[in-house]
Amino acid sequence: MRVAVLMGGASGEREVSLSTGRQIVAALDPSKYTPVAVDPAPLLGRPPAKVHELPIEPLDVSAWSRRGSSQRPDVAFIALHGKGGEDGAIQGLLEWLGIPYTGSGVLASALAMDKAMTKRLLRADGIPVPDDVVIRRHDDPVQAVEARLGFPLIVKPNREGSTIGCTIVREADALPEAIADALRHDETALVERLVPGVEITAGLLGNRSPQALPLIEIVARGGFYDYEAKYAPGGSEHIIPARISDLAAQRAREYAQRTHDLLGCRGMSRVDMIVADDEPVVLEINTIPGMTPTSLLPDAAKAAGIGFSELLDRIIALALEA
């Protein structure tokens, strides 16, 4: 089976995507698959990525559209992160080409990438989320934010991942620059009340009635689970199972399942939450969780007795049955 591992891309998470893609290519069982590393960045006029000892092809839409072409994959394993990869764009292209792909479809991907829209849906469904204010360019936000939310806050781009452009703000003087930084990465910034508590994540694996993986507690070495804490070796500690009450764990699994179902996700997802006073508060859902050596979903799967190669097998099988 020819598996195109889509990696790289043109978002701010390009390096994370390359790391994810490299891990996937290396772990795919050669007796079952012929993996091919593919970078769609040339579709946007950018050069394909270069990774040591891993040949990477540009995505050839013409070849992939021909059903008899030797270059056309049997399935695409999406290892792209950020814009163009998680937002429904590449999913739409693959739908048009008629190629099965891993993870969620166009609509679920687009919704999950838009943090503000996701929170609207969750709030309407009774799932706890942090209070927030949405800021667009040319808004005068400080007074409205201060009156509605108070401090401390977290400011983030609305459609970005890996905590790129995220800033913790503890006083009004620092807010304008934090918002400006977020708006450098997206046209909309999301300003949220900072919820103190235990940071956890809940992984799900499956299409209909997905399997809930063990909850992971995340302890960032520097106190904030930022880009370095996520991807630098030793940047964070993953504690399995999370050190929360049975009641909080039950609620966390329920909210993760409801979030996954509400957005129409499939294949896999990871729902990030803060637990405060036994009540999980949903921060966001990731439809393409990282697969790097420090990533959360593979750790959760391992705790459930699912090795990395088996995890990839299951994700591919879910793509083919979707």
Tokens at 86, concatenated? 């998680």
More confident residue, 172 or 27: 27
Q: Compute CA distances 183 → 151, 165, 251, 277, whole Å.
A: 20, 8, 34, 33
Q: Is the pLDDT of residue 13 over 90?
A: no
pLDDT for the residue 229 = 41
Mean pLDDT of the 40-52 span: 81
Q: Is 153 exposed, middle or buried (0-12, 13-18, 19+ CB in 10 A)?
A: buried
More confident residue, 135 or 292: 135
- Residue 207 tokens read as 């299409």
**In whole angstroms, what is the distance from residue 222 CA to residue 206 CA?**
34
Q: Residues 186-240: pLDDT tens digits? A: 889 999 999 999 999 999 999 988 999 999 999 977 555 444 444 445 567 899 9
Map tokens 């799967």 to a residue.
Answer: 301
Structure tokens at 131: 């209070």
Domain definitions of the chain by residue range: 2-101, 111-128+196-321, 132-193
pLDDT at 82 over 80: yes
Q: Which CATH class is domain 111-128+196-321?
A: alpha beta
Residues annotated as part of the active site: 13, 162, 231, 270, 272, 284, 286, 290
pLDDT in tens, 229-255: 444 455 678 999 999 999 999 999 999
More confident of the two residues 36 and 171: 36
Which of helix, strand or coil describes residue 156? strand
Residue 179 CA to residue 320 CA, distance in Å, equals 42
Q: Which residue reads 């859902």 in tokens?
A: 285
Q: What pLDDT score does 47 carry?
A: 76
Domain 132-193 belongs to what topology?
Answer: Dna Ligase; domain 1 (3.30.1490)
Categorize the per-residue pLDDT at 310 as very low, low, confident or very high, splitting at 50, 70 and 90.
very high
Q: Which CATH number fits domain 2-101: 3.30.70.920, 3.20.20.140, 3.40.50.20, 3.40.190.10?
A: 3.40.50.20
Instruction: Please name every residue paired with 36 in a beta bridge, in sequence order, or none if there are none.
Output: 4
Pick from 36-50, 215-229, 303-317 the range whose average pLDDT is largest. 303-317
Q: What share of the chain is helix, strand, coil (3-state, %, to 5)?
A: 35, 25, 40
Q: Which residue has the higher pLDDT, 242 or 162?
A: 242
